A and B are shown apart, each in its own frame.
Chain A
Amino acid sequence: MADEDRLLIDRCLQGHVEAFGELVRRYQDRLYNALFRFLGNPEDARDVAQEAFLSAFRNLKKFRGRSQFFTWLYRIALNHALDLKRRVKTSRALPEAEDSPHPNELQDRSVSATPDWHLQRREEDERLQQALAKLSNEYRLVLILRDLDELSYEEIAKVLDIPIGTVRSRLHRARMELRRLLQEMEKDSANSTYLPELQR
């Protein structure tokens, strides 16, 4: 575990609540993004991130430091996210986000950030998010942890509480499934684009 995290946790346990604020600032966006991609809804992701941080504070005494603080936090957050999914029972994908730009969207001010580039990127993001939403929870989680958060196989195994071999096989199946979905979507999109031309 990072020394800075340990110091902050120690200070929290001594009663300095602001030190916990530092921990939140450190991991809030990373956690939120993973949750957003997993749940597919910004409000749910924000609520779950909030719940996860509060639960982490309540259970900070139980944190032994065997794993990284973020891995531990991630585990708590995923439990909350899965609880929410179980409660809602319906997977809400992203449609709302498609229509209106997200208020917190990062603005790219680089030279390449032309409107076309933005549009193209948004479309790709949305297609990918839709494909992610179609995956099962197991596959989606393992892909988010590996590719979005760049966790190692060992860390993923700790977060999901599964053996490393299972991580490897699950990741393979998830990648193949995502590929299949994306291919289907690309095919559909190509059909819908060229259909009017063919009709003409």
Chain B
Amino acid sequence: MTEADKQLLTGYIDGVLSPTEKQRAELLLRTSAEARQLFSDLVSDSLRLKYLRREQLPTDFADRIVAMVREEVARLAQRQLWRLRIRRWAPVAVAAALLPFIAWATFVLVSQILTRPDSPSVALPSQPHPQQQDFDEPGPTAPDVNQIAKHGWAKLEQNVRTAWQQSIRAGESLRQLLPRSVEPFNELARAAWNELEPLVLGDWNPAVPDIGNPTVLTSPLRDTDRQLFRSLEFSLPPIFSWQNFGQSEVQQLLGSNRFLVLDVSCRDGRHTWERVQAALRTQKIPALLDSRLKKFWDHRQNTVYFVYVENLSRAQAEDWLLALHREDTRSAGKSSSEAQIRSILVQPVDAEVRQRLAELLGLPIGLLPEATRSPSAASDTALTEDTLRKLEQLAAGQPIRSASAQAVAFCPLRYPPSKEIQKFRQQRGQLRADAYHLVLIFRPER
């Protein structure tokens, strides 16, 4: 077998031959036993390489890399800040260093003026004294000391004034130059801060609260009676006033879709959660609270947060919403206007909402429910089935609880996924197509 034939076979293994070459290779394999043997060996080698035992890195490898990267970023930023500080103060230091030099130069200049014997300012062509001229012998005239001193002082004064004016001018130009020279460093400082900000403030994703249409939620319309909305001609997302919330509103709300995104306007985040949790407890739905959200509350930060409840039966969803209303209004006492929740607005479930939710929960988008319309006629059947199931469980002495329904409350922070979110991901059951899934976005008053 020639070298070209062998090369043909390796190309055949990788599937990179042209149709003609492929035909030639196949002919070779049909006719030559040696070629068949080599081909078989080469395929075997290739497969052995492919299925070579795979090693794994330690599980914390990525975390260590991230920590190293963080350290490096922080170190670079620190270095940049120091460089910036040095450069900012450099002109001042230069000016400070120049001042003694200028003073020394002035001193040297003045002393030279004063001490130079042949200086024209000192050796003035003085007029001879009239009396001296009369009585003394003609000879070299003695300089008039007073005049010389006077003249010297005038000259000195002039020089000092000139130096002063020059230093004022130099100072002025320095003052104009400084802000311009500092500006690039300010930009550097801003750039450094941009690098540092996520490290200092955490990985806050400000885009997340904009889920859906937040402008509607903060509008003054939220306290208005919903009757008003019915009279409006243009289309608004359905909004339910909490005061008038009841069985028919729940039916209406759940009648639209199996996957609902509800925007809840409330007073205080933590107190509202306590009531949500109490309502979940009445339905025996296990709920997890993100520890980071708790931290926000501990620091008195009234942040927006999400509650995701999945795999609810129709009856469970109805009961839970009614229980939430009951808990909230009962806790508020006689005056229902003191309730934590003010209104509920139904958001459209679009791709963006699902994407955001997937990001926050760290789940592939395919594992989240899709917006499917609730079957209008099936609601009663579902309710009956659920009631029957509960009765059967009661009769058998079993506790009434959902097999897979569970809830998680979390804040819109993507990284790092909290241990509660990880636990939620591990514990969640298979997503039921016939179940109801709710995402509640709680927006407390600022």
Interface residues of A (CB under 8 A from B): 15-21, 24-25, 28-29, 32-33, 36-37, 42, 46, 49-50, 53-54, 57-58, 102, 104-106, 121-122, 124-125, 128-129, 143-144, 146-148, 150, 153, 168-169, 171-172, 175-176, 178-179, 182
Contacts and interface: CB of A to CB of B under 8 A. Distances in A.
Contacts of B45: 175, 178-179, 182
B232 interface: no
Contacts, number: 117
Contacts of A121: 53
A172 B11 contact: yes
Interface of B: 6-7, 10-11, 13-14, 16, 38, 41-42, 45-46, 48-50, 52-58, 61-66, 68-70, 72-73, 194-195, 197-199, 203, 414-416
A165 to B, nearest CB: 11
Contacts of A37: 52
B252 to A, nearest CB: 38
B11 A168 contact: yes
B195 A15 contact: yes
> At the interface, is chain A mostly helix, strand, loop or mixed?
helix
A57 B69 contact: yes
26 contacts: A15-B197, A15-B198, A17-B73, A17-B199, A18-B66, A20-B65, A21-B62, A24-B66, A25-B62, A29-B56, A36-B55, A37-B52, A50-B68, A54-B68, A54-B72, A106-B53, A143-B49, A146-B14, A148-B49, A168-B16, A175-B42, A175-B45, A176-B6, A179-B41, A179-B45, A182-B45
A35 B254 CA distance: 55
Nearest to B38: A179
A22 B197 CA distance: 20
A171 B66 contact: no
Nearest to B41: A179
Contacts of A125: 52-53
B50 A124 contact: no
Contacts of B53: 105-106, 121-122, 125
Contacts of A15: 194-195, 197-198
Contact of A150 (B50, B63, B73): B50
A148 B65 CA distance: 25
Contacts of A33: 54-55
Contacts of A54: 65, 68-69, 72
B65 A50 contact: yes
Contacts of B48: 124, 128
A32 B10 contact: no
Contacts of A128: 48-49, 52
Given A21-B65, A28-B61, A28-B62, A16 B198 contact: yes
Nearest to A37: B52
A147 B50 contact: yes
B66 A104 contact: no
Contacts of B55: 29, 32-33, 36, 42, 102, 104-106
A140 to B, nearest CB: 11
